[in-house]
Amino acid sequence: MAKRQIHDISVVIPLYNEASSLRELAGQISTVMDKGKFSYEIIFVDDGSDDDSWQVIERLSEADPHVKGIRLRRNYGKSAALNEGFRRTSGKVVITMDGDLQDNPDEIPGLYRMITKEGYDLVSGWKKKRYDPLVKRISTKLFNFITRFVSRIKLHDFNCGLKAYNHNVVKSIEVYGEMHRFIPIIAKWAGFKKIGEKVVQHRPRKYGKTKFGIERFIHGFLDLLSITFVTRFGRRPMHIFGLLGTLIFVAGFLIALYLAYAKFFMLEYRMTERPLFYFGILAMILGTQLFVAGFLGEMIARSGQDRNRYLIEKTTE
C-alpha cells in the first residue's frame, strides 16, 4: 500500500450550493500556492448541494490532481462537512475557508507562517471590515462578545470561516451538530492553548445569496450553552449532576432531620401540614434523580461510540 503524501497545506472548503464560485475559487487558491511554492491539496466537501456543485468539483478534480472532492449524501450542516474534510487531510497545516469567494486566498501564506513559524495551534481570521447586511453585522458583534466573555478566549470573530490549524488540532477534535462556530473553544478544551488571530480581508459576495437567518443567530447562543457544558462536563457528567444531586439531597435530608427532632423533642404533631415537610421530600427525590442521571451519564460517556460518521455518497479520491 502506497504511503500517503504529506503536503504543506490542506485547504478544506465546506460548501452548499456554490457551483458558480468553485472554479474561480480553485484557480485563486492554486495561484497563491504556486506563487508560494507550497505542496498542497484542495478538499471540497459538498454538503448535499442540489445545484451543480458536485459536477463542478468532479471536473476540477479531473483537470487538477490537487483538487479532491467529498460529497455527503444529504445536507448534514457545515460542522459535518468540516469534520469529514478534517479526517481526510494530509497537510501539516490545515486551512478552512468558505466556498462563496468572500474569503481571500491571499491570506493563506500569512496564516501558514503563524502556524509554522510562530507556533500557533490555531489562528482565526478576523473580518474587521465586513460587507454583510447591517442586521448580520450587529448580531455577529453581539454573538462574538458573549462567546468571548463565556470562553475567555480573546478572539473578535469566532464565526469566521477562514482559519488555520496545526494538523494535530484537526486530528484531535470532534466537530458535530452546529459546533463549527466554537472550534477555538473545542480546541482549547482539548489542550491546544496557543490560539491567535489575524485580520483578514472580507470580500463582498459575488455569486448567490447569503444563507444567514435569524434562526442561525438564536441557534448560535443555544449551541454556546451546549458546548460550554459538553467541553467542561461531557466526559465527566457526574461532576455536575452528582454534585448538584448530592447538595440538594443533603439539604432535604437536613430538613427531614429537623422535622424529626421537632416531632420527638418539641412535640410538633402537625409536620405534614408544614410546607417545609414537602420541600424536604421534594429535595431528596430531586437530589436522588440528579445523582442517578450523573451516574448513567458517566456510564454512557465511558462506553459511547464515535458519533462523527456521516454517509458519503461519492469521493473523487
- CATH number, domain of 224, equals 3.90.550.10
Which residues have C-beta within 8 Å of that of residue 74, sequence separation ≥ 6?
A: 48, 311
pLDDT at 1: 41
Boundary residue ending a domain (182, 200, 233): 233
Q: Domain for residue 311, yes or no? A: no
| 73 shares its domain with 214 | yes
| 243 shares its domain with 109 | no
Boundary residue ending a domain (233, 249, 273): 233
| 149 shares its domain with 57 | yes
Write the DSSP assignment of the chain as a string of letters: -PPPPPEEEEEEEEESS-HHHHHHHHHHHHHHHHHHT--EEEEEEE-S-SSSHHHHHHHHHHH-TTEEEEEESS---HHHHHHHHHHT--EEEEEE--SSS-B-GGGHHHHHHHHHTS--SEEEEE-SS--S-HHHHHHHHHHHHHHHHHH----S-TT-S-EEEEHHHHTT----TTGGGGHHHHHHHTT---EEEEE--BPPP-SS-----HHHHHHHHHHHHHHHHHHHHTT-TIIIIIHHHHHHHHHHHHHHHHHHHHHHHS----GGGSHHHHHHHHHHHHHHHHHHHHHHHHHHHHHPPP-----EEEE--
| 124 shares its domain with 166 | yes
- Domain enclosing residue 173, as ranges: 7-233
C-alpha angle 84-314-53 in degrees, rounded to nearest 5:
85
Phi, psi of 256 (to 5 degrees): -60, -40
Q: Domain for residue 307, yes or no? A: no
Q: Return the C-alpha cell found at 289.
A: 434523580
pLDDT at 314: 63
d(CA 312, CA 316) in angstroms, rounded, equals 11
Among residues 220, 286, 224, the alpha carbon closest in space to that of 252 is found at 286
| 64 shares its domain with 14 | yes
Q: Domain for residue 166, yes or no? A: yes
| 227 shares its domain with 251 | no
| 285 shares its domain with 211 | no
| 13 shares its domain with 106 | yes
Q: Domain for residue 1, yes or no? A: no
pLDDT tens by residue, the chain, 317 residues:
445 678 999 999 999 999 999 999 999 999 999 999 999 999 999 999 999 999 999 999 999 999 999 999 999 889 899 999 999 999 999 999 999 899 999 999 999 999 999 999 999 999 888 777 777 777 778 878 888 887 788 898 888 889 999 999 999 988 877 778 889 988 988 889 899 999 998 888 777 666 555 566 566 666 666 666 666 666 677 777 888 888 999 999 998 888 888 877 776 667 677 788 888 889 999 989 988 887 777 677 666 544 445 566 666 66
C-alpha angle 304-305-309 in degrees, rounded to nearest 5:
145
Strand order in the sheet with 163-166: 195-199, 122-126, 163-166, 91-96, 7-15, 40-46, 67-72, 312-315
Q: What's the CA dihedral at 281, 287, 289, 291 to 10 degrees?
A: -150
pLDDT at 55: 95
Domain count, the chain: 2
Q: Domain for residue 314, yes or no? A: no
| 265 shares its domain with 159 | no
| 286 shares its domain with 212 | no
Q: Domain for residue 45, yes or no? A: yes
| 190 shares its domain with 253 | no
Report yes or no: 156 and 87 within 8 Å, Cβ to Cβ.
Answer: no
Report yes or no: 129 and 230 within 8 Å, Cβ to Cβ.
Answer: no
Boundary residue ending a domain (181, 215, 233): 233
